[in-house]
Amino acid sequence: MATSDLSEVSQDDLFEHYTFKAAKGQEPLRVDKFLMNFIENATRNKIQQAAKQGHIWVNGLPVKQNYRVKAEDEVKVLFEHPPYEFLLSPENIPLDIVFEDSQLVVVNKPAGMVVHPGHGNYAGTLINALLYHFESLPNNSSGRPGLVHRIDKDTSGLLVVAKTDEAMSHLAQQFFEKSTEREYIALVWGNVKEDQGTIEGHIGRNPKNRLQMMVFPDGESGKEAITHYKVLERFGYVSLISCKLETGRTHQIRVHMKHIGHTLFNDARYGGDKILKGTTFTKYKQFVENCFKILPRQGLHAKSLGVVHPTTGEFLKFVADLPLDMTVCIEKWQNYSKHSQ
């Protein structure tokens, strides 16, 4: 399997650059397949196009898409994408606004919506929608209008957006100081043993799969991450839990729950789209497959968000009900567990 020791991503107005170094044990593998293992949303066609343009280099020399990457090769690729101005174009996309005043907006993001434009997601993002509905949003340190924090594409739920520079600074400080309150509801594989607990383990990029994060329990890599969980309901082969975050690392809940043996239900990136717990009966397999169809993404919802208002100093707490796909899937598991006892 392809591995990587290094991945660097930089962006300018017209290009995205990636650099990878193949691991010592790398078996010969076509460069297009090698790159697909490490670059999210990069199609084989996109990679082959880059090769035709002379934009893939191995050890400093341009190569074709059929070049076979070998151990310790340094692979660089450059992708052209639409100009930054296009990426930040306003789009008339409906927003579920939970709260709004002169300083901030709280949005209930649907599953499937990317938060900000990037490679492979040039339009239809939350930022494109925000730019249509609101004027003169302040840029964060990465130049992304209004954004204070993010949630994954296939996670639903609450996000706070800054409308002024003052709000941007104040809210960003709250997230930095870990003083915000965030609760997520997750459907996970397995019968979680403890009624509640805390998971502590640094989170960093998986050196063997750059699209995944992983836990480094000894803290030798990654960044500190703390998740508090509580079991809400048990359905035998899956459990419904509440997670409260002290930190906000990429894929934190998904990675922490997998680390303790309870991968999120239908989380394809971390293996949750396979039947991880249960029986071998055909009817059970059909039942789980139906649940996957009802909930075609990881079972994770950002249910509540608490922040201090930037100007009034009032603590505000917002709640978003579970979306229909999670609700229906949970009801099916409730019924299944009742009739299987």
The catalytic site residues sit at 152
Residue with the two structure tokens 């409730």: 334
Distance CA 98, CA 152 (A): 19
Q: Is the C-alpha dihedral spanning 244, 248, 250, 255 positive or negative?
A: negative
Determine phi and psi for 171, rounding to 5 degrees. -70, -40
Task: Pull the structure tokens for residue 60.
Answer: 């400093």
Look up residue 272 and give its amino acid. Answer: G
Q: Which residues pair with 69 in a beta bridge?
A: 29
Q: What is the DSSP letter of 310?
A: T
Q: Which of 110, 169, 111, 167 is nearest to 134 (CA)?
A: 167
The token duo for 100 is 């709004």
The answer to whether 298 and 308 have CB atoms below 8 angstroms apart is no
What ranges make up the beta strands (E) of the chain? Answer: 4-11, 15-22, 29-30, 56-58, 61-62, 68-69, 74-80, 97-100, 104-109, 156-162, 181-189, 196-200, 202-206, 209-216, 226-234, 238-245, 300-308, 315-319
Distance CA 138, CA 108 (A): 20
Residues 6+ positions from 68 with CB-CB distance below 8 Å: 28, 29, 30, 31
- Using CA atoms, how far residue 193 sits from 190, 207, 231, 294, 333, in Å, is 9, 30, 9, 27, 18
Which residue is listed with tokens 């017209």? 14
SS in 3 state form for 189-205? ECCCCCCEEEEECEEEE
